[in-house]
């Protein structure tokens, strides 16, 4: 009944590790790392997230055919959770840097490390559904896959992604123009 480790009444989750773990890992690991890296902007952090996600997957009963979609969504959520926990720090760093750096325009800015921090802060501020849709879409999932993952109609995926992109651009612009 509960997935958490502690609780009043617990129906335990399966403890055994699934037999197809290595096979799924080898085919899906690059995708899972890439999803997390888009959020975190750091490969080592992304690999930590991927480990976490595969550990959970290893004990799950997710059907093999749905594994890639499940893992991608889990990677996006877990990476965004990591962002949230580090959000205060990220926002503070952005605030500190805003006062000393000069960013001429958004397109140039995105390549800088500084910009990475802004992207992280912007992603952390987006509504969760928008952030996940944005990251999954930019990780190559189709509209149908994103729709299934987020319980959206394929028609509204475009709207959700578009809103996220506008919000992201505005966040980046806001910082760029507040110099």
Partner 1 sequence: MRHPNDGTLRRLLDEPAGVADADRAHVAGCPQCRAGLAAAQRDAAVATEALSGDLTAHVDAGWQRLSTAVATRERPRKAPARRWRIRSPLVAAIGVAALLAGASAAAAGDWLQIFRTERIAPVTAPEADLIKIPELDEFGELTPIEPIQIRQVTDAAAAAKATGLTVPRVTDLPKGVSGEPTYHVGARASALFTYSAERAEQTARAKGHTLPPPPPGLDGSQFRLTAGPGLAAMWGEGRPTPGLVVVRAVTPTAYSTGVPFGTARDYLLSLPILPANVAAQLKNFSAEGTTLPLFMSVEHMKSTATEVGGVPATLLTSRDRTMAAVLWLDGTVVTAVAGPLSGDEVLAVARGMGPR
How many Cα atoms sit within 13 Å of 96 on the Cβ side?
Answer: 8
Residues 87-116 that bind partner 1 (CB under 8 A): 106-107, 110-111, 115-116
Least CB distance to partner 1 at residue 102 (A)? 19
| Structure token digits, residue 157 | 């995926």
**Residue with smaller CB distance to partner 1, 70 or 94:** 70
Residues from 61 through 80 that contact partner 1 (CB under 8 A): 61-62, 70, 73-74, 77-78
Q: Which of residues 119-158 bind partner 1 (CB under 8 A)?
A: 119, 122, 134-135, 137-138, 142-143, 151, 154-158
Q: Are 27 and 57 in contact (CB under 8 A)?
A: no
92 Cβ contact list (under 8 Å, min separation 6): none
Rounded distance, CA 21 to CA 33, Å? 16
Work out how close the CB of 30 gets to partner 1 at its nearest, in angstroms, rounded to a whole number.
4
The DSSP secondary-structure symbol of 16 reads: S
In the set 64, 95, 96, 166, which binds partner 1 (CB under 8 A)?
166
CB of 95 to partner 1, least distance (A): 19
Which residue among 83, 121, 126, 164 contacts partner 1 (CB under 8 A)? 164
* Site for partner 1 contains 58 (CB under 8 A): yes
**3-class SS of residue 140:** coil
Contacts of 140 (CB under 8 A, 6+ apart): 31
Stretch that binds partner 1, among 53-61, 86-94, 96-104 (CB under 8 A): 53-61
Tokens 């849709």: give the residue: 133
């Amino acid at each position: 009944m509960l997935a958490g480790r502690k609780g009043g009444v617990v129906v335990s989750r399966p403890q055994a590790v699934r037999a197809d773990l290595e096979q799924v890992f080898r085919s899906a690991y690059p995708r899972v790392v890439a999803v997390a890296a888009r959020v975190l902007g750091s490969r080592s952090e992304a690999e930590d997230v991927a480990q976490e996600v595969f550990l959970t997957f290893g004990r799950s009963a997710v059907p093999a055919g749905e594994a890639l979609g499940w893992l991608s969504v889990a990677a996006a959520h877990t990476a965004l959770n990591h962002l949230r926990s580090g959000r205060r720090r990220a926002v503070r760093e952005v605030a500190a840097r805003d006062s000393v750096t000069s960013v001429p325009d958004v397109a140039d800015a995105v390549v800088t490390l500084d910009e990475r921090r802004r992207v992280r802060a912007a992603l952390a501020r987006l509504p969760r559904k928008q952030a996940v849709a944005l990251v999954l879409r930019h990780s190559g999932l189709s509209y149908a896959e994103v729709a299934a993952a987020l319980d959206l109609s394929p028609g509204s995926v475009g709207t959700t992604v578009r809103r996220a992109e506008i919000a992201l651009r505005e966040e980046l612009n806001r910082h760029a123009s507040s110099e």
